[in-house]
Copies of this chain bind each other. A is one copy, B any other.
Amino acid sequence: MTATEPVDLTVADLHPALGDPALTSMNFLNEVSERYPAAVSLAAGRPYEEFFDLAAVHRHLDTFHRHLTDDLGHSSEQARRLLLQYGRTKGIVHHLIARNLAVDEGITVDPEAVVVTVGCQEAMFLVLRALRAGPEDVLLAVAPTYVGLTGAARLVDLPVWPVAGGTSGVDVADLSVQVRRARAAGLRPRACYVMPDFANPSGVSVSAEDRRRLLTLAAEEDLLLLEDNPYGLFHSADGPRPPTLKALDTGRRVVYLGSFAKTVLPGARVGYVIADQRVAGPDGRVGPLADQLAMIKSMVTVNTSPIAQAVIGGRLLENGCSLVAANTRERSAYTRNLRHLVTGLRRRFPGRAGGPAAVRWTVPAGGFFVVVTVPFPVDDALLDRSARDYGVLWTPMAHFYDDTAPVCALRLSVSAVTPPQIDLGLDRLTALITDEVARRAG
| Contacting residue for A300 out of B2, B155, B308, CB 8 A | B155
Q: Is the C-beta of A325 less than 8 angstroms from some C-beta in chain B?
A: no
| Contacting residue for A151 out of B23, B265, B299, CB 8 A | B299
Q: Which residues of B contact A302 (CB under 8 A)?
A: 118-119, 121, 148, 269
Q: Is the C-beta of A122 less than 8 angstroms from some C-beta in chain B?
A: yes
Which segment, of A80-88, A370-378, A393-401, faces chain B? A80-88
Which segment, of A199-207, A245-253, A345-353, A359-367, faces chain B? A245-253
Q: Tell me whether B87 and A9 are in contact (CB under 8 A).
A: no
* Distance A253 CA – B5 CA, assembled complex (angstroms): 9
Q: Is the C-beta of A240 less than 8 angstroms from some C-beta in chain B?
A: no
Q: Which residues of B contact A156 (CB under 8 A)?
A: 15
Nearest residue (CB) in B for A270 is B305
So how many copies of this chain end up in the complex? 2
- Binary contact readout A291-309 vs B (1 if CB under 8 angstroms, 0 otherwise): 0100110111111111110
Q: Tell me whether A292 and B87 are in contact (CB under 8 A).
A: no
Q: Tell me whether B266 and A84 are in contact (CB under 8 A).
A: yes
| Contacting residue for A307 out of B5, B132, B268, B286, CB 8 A | B268
Residues from 207 to 240 in A contacting B, C-beta threshold 8 Å: 215-216, 219-220, 222, 224
* Distance A268 CA – B8 CA, assembled complex (angstroms): 34
Interface centre among A17, A49, A267, A289 (most CB of B within 10 A): A267
Q: Is the C-beta of A385 less than 8 angstroms from some C-beta in chain B?
A: no
Q: Tell me whether A300 and B54 are in contact (CB under 8 A).
A: no
* Distance A131 CA – B17 CA, assembled complex (angstroms): 11
Known A19-B281, A133-B16; contact A269-B304, beta-carbon cutoff 8 A: yes
Q: Is the C-beta of A328 less than 8 angstroms from some C-beta in chain B?
A: no
* Distance A241 CA – B300 CA, assembled complex (angstroms): 31
Shortest CB-to-CB span from A171 to chain B, Å, is 21
Q: Tell me whether B18 and A296 are in contact (CB under 8 A).
A: yes
Q: Is the C-beta of A24 less than 8 angstroms from some C-beta in chain B?
A: yes
Q: Which residues of B contact A125 (CB under 8 A)?
A: 299-301
* Distance A121 CA – B300 CA, assembled complex (angstroms): 6
Shortest CB-to-CB span from A225 to chain B, Å, is 10
Interface centre among A118, A132, A151, A296 (most CB of B within 10 A): A118
* Distance A152 CA – B300 CA, assembled complex (angstroms): 7
* Distance A125 CA – B131 CA, assembled complex (angstroms): 18
Q: Tell me whether B308 and A18 are in contact (CB under 8 A).
A: no
Q: Tell me whether B17 and A296 are in contact (CB under 8 A).
A: yes
Nearest residue (CB) in B for A223 is B7
* Distance A272 CA – B121 CA, assembled complex (angstroms): 19
Known A65-B54, A302-B121; contact A267-B6, beta-carbon cutoff 8 A: no
12 contacts between A and B (CB under 8 A): A4-B250, A9-B277, A9-B279, A11-B280, A15-B131, A24-B295, A46-B85, A119-B301, A122-B300, A125-B301, A151-B299, A269-B305
Sample of 7 more A-B contacts, CB < 8 Å, known A2-B219, A5-B251: A8-B279, A11-B282, A14-B279, A15-B156, A26-B295, A121-B302, A265-B307
